Chains A and B, each alone.
Chain A
Amino acid sequence: MADVRVLIVDDQLPFREASRMVVEMTDGFVVAGEAGNGEEAVEMARELKPDLILMDVQMPGIDGLEATRRIRDLVDPPPVAVMSTHESGDYRHTALEAGAYAFIPKSEFSMDALEGLWRQAIT
């Protein structure tokens, strides 16, 4: 089976790097690209057609929620999992409303969580 191609979206480089490490260490997953803001995320989602998008919420310009809405409007949109340093709170609800299929706090993101997110995405 082909590797799952993941687009990482976060405005903070340290978090992008850490997410990249998790993706690269997980069997069957590769990084398709990294975006540092919402606009870039939408553009890269359109161009790269990743299998899965990990989307931060708070970013300058259009935030992760607006980017998620715009990605949902693309033809054949990839699934978006919203990640935040917040432990859920209102974000979970708004993330799902914006069109994300999952919400996960950054503190819970791990190789297992990535595999779980993907299983969820394809069922």
Chain B
Amino acid sequence: MATTVVLAEDSYLMREALVSILGNLEGVELLAVAEDYDHLIETVEEHRPDVVITDIRMPPTLTDEGIRAANYIREHYPEIGVVVLSHYLEPDYALRLFREGSSARAYLLKDHVGDADVLSAAMTEVMRGGSIVDPQVVDVLVEARVREKESLLQRLSARELEVLAEMATGLNNSGIAEALFISRRAVEKHINAIFTKLDLSFEESTHRRVRAVLLYLGEGQ
């Protein structure tokens, strides 16, 4: 019997690449593709797949949707395995994924999923209740543990720091998008991640922008 899969990924390039990889895997049936949190949950409830493969940052907040979905699925459909796909250097997300238990969960880096064997092995492992963490993420987790007294800014990825640096020059989101030649949506995604990592998620929107810049200017220079 084929392994049934629901995929969630909002980036076009990654989504199409993953659809193609899954399409070439023998014994795998891709049931549906979601592009945001709500659609992912609806799709899981409708199809009850064997495995969910999900990006972390997706609409609506572009921060931690994949982790929240994995935890929701554990609560409501514990039999479903979840493979979370991440960019490098997001150890906080890995910790949050495994905090609720590591069974039937895998955390892979996106630059390894182009290798169909890696993705296939992760799917097999979560289906039998096991777990996999990408070795590079383990290294990062160990490093993070070593320097526990990190500054707030060290929580940010290099890209997020670049966005924050542009924000500090006074640019609005369109200006930042232009300066880093990325889409406005990508800028919003980074900014939401910055707010989350700097613990500014619950501030009013104007305040947190200013506070993020102040943190940057205070610590970053």
| Interfacial residues, chain A to chain B (CB-CB below 8 A) | 12-15, 17-19, 21-22, 58, 84-90, 92, 102, 104-110, 112-113, 116-117, 119-120
Can you list 25 A-B pairs with a CB-CB distance of less than 8 A? Answer: A12-B115, A13-B20, A14-B16, A17-B17, A17-B20, A21-B16, A22-B12, A85-B110, A86-B88, A87-B88, A87-B89, A88-B158, A89-B159, A92-B159, A105-B159, A106-B11, A106-B13, A107-B14, A107-B186, A110-B13, A110-B183, A113-B183, A113-B186, A116-B178, A117-B181
Q: Are A89 and B13 in contact, CB atoms less than 8 angstroms apart?
A: no
Within 8 A of A (CB), among B1-46: 11-18, 20-21
Contact of B20 with A18 in the complex, beta carbons under 8 Å: yes
Q: Are B13 and A107 in contact (CB under 8 A)?
A: yes
Indicate whether A113 sits within 8 Å of B17 (C-beta atoms), given known contacts A85-B87, A87-B89. Answer: no
Most buried by B among A13, A84, A85, A90: A85
Roughly how many angstroms separate A86 CA and B182 CA in the complex, as a whole number? 15
Besides the contacts A12-B114, A22-B12, A108-B186, what 12 more A-B pairs have beta carbons closer than 8 Å? A17-B20, A18-B16, A85-B87, A85-B109, A87-B88, A88-B162, A89-B158, A102-B181, A105-B159, A106-B11, A110-B12, A117-B181
B148 interfacial contact with A, CB 8 Å: no
Number of A-B contacts (CB under 8 A): 96
